[in-house]
Structure 1
Amino acid sequence: MPFQHPEEIGYGYVIERYVTRKDSDHPRYLELNSARILRPGWPHAKRFARHLIDDASAITDAELEALLAYEWRSRLTAACLIGVDRRESFRGRIGDLLLASEVCYSGNAYCFALARLGTHADAELLIAYLDHYLPRTDLRYDQPAALGALLHLDARLGTHRAARFTQPDGLWDHWVNALAHLRDHPDYTPTEQRRWTDLHCAFANGWTRP
């Protein structure tokens, strides 16, 4: 699918309003793509969270679609807003974008959104992604984030869907061991991937109004 700038459909303002706005030292999309927001004592946390919650609630479905049709910064931001607001109507769209893997960086946000939506349907979308991409040992896409999100959902839903990927000498081990720079790396264990998803979701839970 060709990328479409929001200006082409009358939504040129959404980039500045939602993607590049600054509630810290950096544009929003950079903060969402970094681990700074998870650090205790981050000085911009309250302002960043307040504005993100407000925007996640206020953004319209049409504005989200305009962002999802554009490049990675816009898609990353839109997926995070969808996750924060638990906008369930975008479940299928997020699943399609994750499986297509058209652009870099945004996949982590798609996985976050599915983890936040938190249902069996979201788990099935993550499984479809892992079934497709874990056998591709030549590709390093968003396999870690997808596995972490699925493990997070297993814990939440009382299921064991990730077990067939994480069993010894299973698809996860084969994928990690095929990539020399990941082999024996402490960050690329199922436990560590779930920890990162848990952290992001716990932080987002803290953002969300009762």
Structure 2
Amino acid sequence: MPSRHPEEIGYGHVVESYVSRMYGGLPRYLVLNSGRFLSPRWRHTTRFTRHLLDDAAAITDEELEALLGYEWRSRLTAGWLIGVDRRERFRTRIGDLLLASEVCYSGGAYCFALARFGTHADAEILTAYLDRYLPRTDLYYDQPAALGALLRLDARLGTRHADRFTEADGLWDHWVKGMGRLGYPSDTPGELHRWTDAQCNFANGWSRP
């Protein structure tokens, strides 16, 4: 589906309001993508987090749809805002976007949102994504983020969806070898699980009751 600038549908303010606001010389989308806000050494964390929490609560569904229909920076930011506010009504929408993988970077935000929702339905979406993209040993998309999110959900739900991906000489091992041939570094499943936990625990710590 072709992207549309929010201005075309009457929401021209959303990029400036939610995506490109600056923190420590960096726009919000870049801070989110880098995970810089998780570092205790980053002195802008408190301001960044308060604004993120406020915007996640205030943004309307229509504004989120305008962001999700645009390019990767907007979609990435929308995914985070949806996840922070746990807007589960967007589950199908972000699941479809994750599986389509039309643009770069935003998939990690969708995986974060699904991990935050925390249900069996979210695990099914992540499993479907890994079934589709782990066999593609020529593509580095959002496989690590999806596996990390699925491992978190398995741990919380008492399920074992990730087992068949992470078994010895399974799909994950084959994908990692393919990425190694292409020059991409890879984290272990345990490291990916811990990274997703860090993201979700960060959001849990700042969420309203």
TM-score band (shorter)? over 0.9
Q: Which residue of 2 aligns with 1:38?
A: 38
Identity of matched residues, %: 73
The residue type equivalent to 1:209 in the other structure is R
1:23 touches 1:48 (CA, 8 Å); kept in 2?
A: yes
- Paired residue secondary structure (1:179): helix
Q: How much does 1:41 deviate?
A: 3.4
Question: Structure 2 vs 1, CA of residues 72 and 184 (structure 1 numbering), >3 Å: closer, same or farther?
Answer: closer
Q: Would you identify which runs of 4 or more consecutive aligned residues in structure 1 move more than 4 Å?
A: 181-185
The alignment status of 1:15 with 2:26, answered yes or no, reads no
Q: Which residue of 1 aligns with 2:187?
A: 188
TM-score by length of 2: 0.96
Deviations 1:107-139 (A, max 9, x none): 110100100111100000000000000011111
In the aligned structure 2, how far is the partner of 1:207 from the partner of 1:49? 8
Q: Which residue of 2 aligns with 1:141?
A: 141
Deviations 1:5-51 (A, max 9, x none): 00000000000000001243211111001121111132111111111
In the aligned structure 2, how far is the partner of 1:48 from the partner of 1:117? 22
TM-score by length of 1: 0.96
Q: Which residue of 2 aligns with 1:51?
A: 51
Segment of structure 1 superposing worse, 52-61 or 40-49: 40-49
Equivalence map 1:76-115=2 (5 Å): 76-115=76-115
The alignment status of 1:199 with 2:198, answered yes or no, reads yes
1:83 touches 1:117 (CA, 8 Å); kept in 2?
A: yes
Equivalence map 1:123-202=2 (5 Å): 123-180=123-180, 185=185, 187-202=186-201
Segment of structure 1 superposing worse, 40-49 or 87-96: 40-49
For the aligned residues, what is the CA RMSD? 1.4
Q: How much does 1:183 deviate?
A: 8.3
1:147 touches 1:193 (CA, 8 Å); kept in 2?
A: yes
The alignment status of 1:209 with 2:208, answered yes or no, reads yes
1:56 touches 1:81 (CA, 8 Å); kept in 2?
A: yes
Aligned residues: 209
Q: How much does 1:184 deviate?
A: 10
- Paired residue secondary structure (1:33): helix
